[in-house]
Amino acid sequence: MPTKKEAKKKPVKTPEAKSVKKAQDKEMVTVFIMGKAYKVPAEATIMGAIEYAGYQIKRGAGCREGFCGACATVYRVPNDYKIYTVLACTTLVQEGMWLSQLPAIPTQKPVYDINKLEPNVATFQKIYPEVFRCVACNTCTKACPQDLEVMDYIQAVLRGDIEKVMDLSFDCLCCGMCAIRCPAEIVQHNVGMLAKRLYGKYLSRESIQLKKRIQEVKEHKYDKEYKELMKMGKEELKKKYYERDLE
């Protein structure tokens, strides 16, 4: 039996015990993932909560930082009629959240030769005739997790203002949320993609800086830096990426 002196000693906290204590100290919320209730940390993103619950995400995850649009998710919360459309990697969980991840939004992909197209309304009429069924309900804009003015750029298509379409759809992630809510069954992100291609091919002003950079690449000016990057480990690359100069 331990002596009285030994009994007064505090138990040694192993790393495992500390980890359990840390998890217990976290504020937890209940979320419903694919219809089943789970207790997850309140500070977790939807994607983090799904993995915390034990799911292995093999589809519907890409950059994990809100840039690729692969983790489209819909959810509702108690006492709220609205269905929310978000990205799982950038949205925090809420108490009572009922969510479903949509790893792929099915859309038909038209095949065309950009060199045989003209930058006008007739091109959109031929490739995306459903655009002209738009009823301006603005559902697409409300569904966009990027807060883009989706309806406005679809209306710009009808006016033949390709530059406006390009500009308003420039930050589109092609997550497909707008398309699944559209009563006219328009695939807005594909329409925006065509506008950007037409603008780049026929309407954009020539960039002297771009021509200069392309020539520098052809002359192997950056080969040394490229080889150095290829030798770096993941953590070193990550550090270099986040410390880069931003405009």
Tokens describing residue 243:
């410390």
- In this prediction, residue 197 carries a pLDDT of 96
Q: Using CA atoms, how far apart are residues 239 and 247, in angstroms rounded to an integer?
A: 18
CATH code (residue 33): 3.10.20.30
134 inside domain = yes
The DSSP call for residue 117 is -
Let me know whether 63 and 126 are in one domain. Answer: no
Of 70, 101, 132, the domain-final residue:
101
Let me know whether 119 and 95 are in one domain. Answer: no
Q: Element (H or E) spanning 87, and its range?
A: strand 84-87
Q: Using CA atoms, how far apart are residues 118 and 127, in angstroms rounded to an integer?
A: 12
Let me know whether 121 and 183 are in one domain. Answer: yes
Let me know whether 51 and 85 are in one domain. Answer: yes
Q: Using CA atoms, how far apart are residues 242 and 179, in angstroms rounded to an integer?
A: 33
188 inside domain = yes
246 inside domain = no
Let me know whether 120 and 86 are in one domain. Answer: no
- In this prediction, residue 16 carries a pLDDT of 45
- In this prediction, residue 247 carries a pLDDT of 62
Distance of CA 207 to the CA centre of its chain: 29
10 inside domain = no
CATH code (residue 133): 1.10.1060.10
Let me know whether 188 and 151 are in one domain. Answer: yes
Let me know whether 76 and 131 are in one domain. Answer: no
Let me know whether 64 and 118 are in one domain. Answer: no
**Cα angle 134, 137, 140; round to 5:** 85
- In this prediction, residue 26 carries a pLDDT of 82
Domain extent at residue 131: 114-203
The number of domains in the chain is: 2
Which residues of the chain carry a pLDDT beneath 50?
A: 1-12, 14-20
3-state secondary structure of 98: strand
181 inside domain = yes
